[in-house]
Structure 1
Amino acid sequence: LAGNCSGWGNEQTLVLVKPDAVQRRLVGDVIQRFERRGFKLVAMKLLQHYQQLCQKPFYPALLAYMMSGPLVAMVWEGYNVVRSTRAMVGDTNSADAKPGTIRGDLSMHVSRNVVHASDSVETAHKEIGFWFQRDELVAWESSDRDFTYGP
């Protein structure tokens, strides 16, 4: 899934807009940041009761938080999207996250830090497979590709 799906050598990454951000109606703000950066959205869904989380060895408090409300799962595609996304998201601890990052601007506490993003290409591949079926990813050509990445 992660890798050369589009034919122009782009990576894919998973981004989760966590329940605290959905409750605070920040989904559009998060999406806008990725669109403005030039990344292409190839999958998105709103989830609430996701059984796959119950099968993972999460801490009970984390599991309760992730199950506390809906979240938005997305797959973004673009050149160096994994590394760029990590920079856009900012430090896990909102007190350390720099202004201009998603967490630096929108998060107030480490336990409510708005988003999750894959930390490597390998992890992105696994996480995308966990949250999405292969046929849920949409391959499409962006008309602004040359303006974003050059000819």
Structure 2
Amino acid sequence: MSQRTLVLLKPDAVRRGLVGEIIGRIESKAGWKISALELRTLDRPLLETHYAEHEGQPFYEPLMTFMSSGPSVAMVVEGERVIEGLRTMAGPTDPIAAAPGSIRGDFGTIVRENLIHASDSEESAEREMKIFFPNFV
């Protein structure tokens, strides 16, 4: 089933020069395509909307500070089972638990700065794409 999802390459991925490597992995997956892409520094109001369900958690403020610390790449990726596939490609949040071959397994260093966000469901993907690309969806 063809789907669309939001992917964010976080400030650590941009800072470390991993954008090309990660996009290359996405583009090399047969049948997947990037249909929207933008490099931008994410402001607090946008991040508050995106991370609303985490407000009040101990990691919320450090996450907000990290995510606004530099540019990120926001993109919409389309393809067969892309939501599940990108979550697998990204690997678990903890880079120690992430398998070699996954983005976090190969390049991750710490849990909080974990390189990539990929929507976890069709509902989340729709909500998140509207936040980052309101004129696209």
Q: TM-score range by the shorter chain?
A: 0.7 to 0.9
Q: How does 1:1-150 map to 2 (within 5 A)?
A: 10-38=2-30, 39-50=32-43, 51-55=45-49, 57=52, 58=55, 59-135=60-136
List gaps (5 residues or longer) in structure 1.
Answer: 1-8, 138-151
Q: State which structure, 1 or 2, has the greater radius of gyration over its C-alpha atoms.
A: 1
Residue 26 of structure 1 aligns to which amino acid in structure 2? L
Higher relative contact order (CA 8 A, sep 6+): 2
Residue 127 of structure 1 aligns to which amino acid in structure 2? E
Alpha-carbon distance in 1 for matches of 2:70, 2:135: 25
TM-fit CA distance, 1:134:
3.0
Alpha-carbon distance in 2 for matches of 1:53, 1:34: 24
TM-fit CA distance, 1:65:
0.4
Residue 46 of structure 2 aligns to which amino acid in structure 1? Q
- What CA deviation, in whole Å up to 9, does each residue of 1:77-135 have, x standing for no partner? 00100001111110110010000001000111111111011011111111111110233
TM-score by length of 2: 0.87
Deviates more, 1:120-129 or 1:52-61: 52-61
Residue 84 of structure 2 aligns to which amino acid in structure 1? R
Alpha-carbon distance in 2 for matches of 1:49, 1:94: 24
Alpha-carbon distance in 1 for matches of 2:33, 2:74: 14
List gaps (5 residues or longer) in structure 2.
Answer: none
Alpha-carbon distance in 2 for matches of 1:49, 1:83: 25
TM-fit CA distance, 1:52:
1.4
Off by >3 Å, runs of 4+ in structure 1: 54-58
Change (3 A) 1:99 1:61: same
CA RMSD of aligned residues (A): 1.4
Contact 2:5 2:122 (C-alpha < 8 Å) held by counterparts: yes
Q: What SS class does the counterpart of residue 123 from structure 2 fall into?
A: helix
Contact 2:39 2:74 (C-alpha < 8 Å) held by counterparts: yes
Alpha-carbon distance in 2 for matches of 1:134, 1:36: 27
Count of matched residue pairs: 128
